[in-house]
Copies of this chain bind each other. A is one copy, B any other.
């Protein structure tokens, strides 16, 4: 069961804004309709708030693993992760991009955002 309590944070090491990106290639959850597993790649990209916090990498891994046996749609996974990480970090801006392996010959990619994502990052 997705568990945001697994997430931990540490203070940002600098006050100048900088972009952090973590790509997890080993995400899996379960399709609530068919019960078959879904496999995806989750990209998290954000700028920490000045004086704010960053998500700790190992805790992020455990949080992602907590979706393993959850029946949940692509769109809901994407927005859920966005919400949990925004709640944790209150970053300047944040993107979640989920890439899903094909089902029935169709690959999907979902993007959710928070805050004022600069135009040049929108399509990355």
Name A residues whose Cβ lies closer than 8 Å to a Cβ of B.
12-14, 16-26, 28, 36-37, 39, 54, 57-58, 60-61, 65, 68-69, 73, 75-76, 78-79, 101-114, 118-124
Contact = CB atoms under 8 A, between A and B. Distances in A.
Contact of A120 (B22, B57, B123): B123
A25 B102 contact: yes
Nearest to A102: B102
A35 B12 CA distance: 21
A10 B41 CA distance: 24
Nearest to A20: B110
Contact of A26 (B23, B58, B69, B105): B105
A88 to B, nearest CB: 16
A42 to B, nearest CB: 9
A14 B75 CA distance: 9
